[in-house]
Structure 1
Amino acid sequence: MPTRSEVDPLDVPRPILPSLYILIRDEDGGFRFRLVGTRLAEIFGRDVTGKRLEEVLRDGALTNALRSYDTIIKMGKPSHSRALYFPASGEDPFLYQRLTLPLGTQAQTTHLLGALLLQREDLPYVTYADVEAREVVTISDRVETMLA
């Protein structure tokens, strides 16, 4: 697995950069956003850089994210998921896809690099295929439903 220093978010194709995030694990086992793209700030309604996951997500969304991120760290393998997100604000739910990649050493995952692609009527939907015509690596597809 690559280390965090080997991955520069600026090397990511420009249209995907606003959808990127990097999480670090705090000493107490929680997660904190180290980097948050502008697209995610739109989704959350604010810049959540430096915020703990518990400050950003609630209820089923938080439980789902913690379970997923804990599994990625434990297994040291990428994860792809599709889910329905129910915003705490009461807005209409929307579908999203999340790709999360572990970064660190063979012995320890130190960071999680993720990208969130969503489908909402008020925000344009971008897929990786739209960004660049490259061979797509399929990671096991897991459908999750988040309950608010």
Structure 2
Amino acid sequence: MTASITNFDRKDLIQKALDNISKSYAPYSHFHVSAAVLMSDGNIYTGVNVENASYPAGICAERNAIFHAIAQDKTAKLVAVAIVGGPDGKIQDYCAPCGVCRQVMREFGNPEEIAVIMAKSTEDYKEMTLAELLPMSFGPEFLA
């Protein structure tokens, strides 16, 4: 199966992120985040934010999930990312990816073809392309 931005189950991807939020490790900020990423080969990988007493050593949920996916198959491209998060794991609003996560997403696919889904639930979500969230981005093709 080859997944694309138009032919995947958004609710399933969001549900996988929702199901994983309890695994977040956020003892300092208490802001728990979970992400699920869909790759072009049809596989879905999840990740959570993992904080550290040395703050810069932590990792965001989106990068955690993307790096997990790339470790499994570095040829697959990023198709979509579903993100959920909130204080103490209680989702109250849409959770947008930070700038570093947006740049990491940019590394692994075409920004016009990557769906970024910020969800409160499987029924309540906002979707944008990565190009909309990271306009005029710098990617690997500039280094070729």
TM over 0.5: no
**TM-score (ref. length: structure 2):** 0.28
Higher strand share: 1
Question: Using CA pairs below 8 Å that are at least 6 residues apart, which structure has the higher relative contact order?
Answer: 1
TM-score normalised according to structure 1 size: 0.28
The structure in which a higher percent of residues are helix is: 2
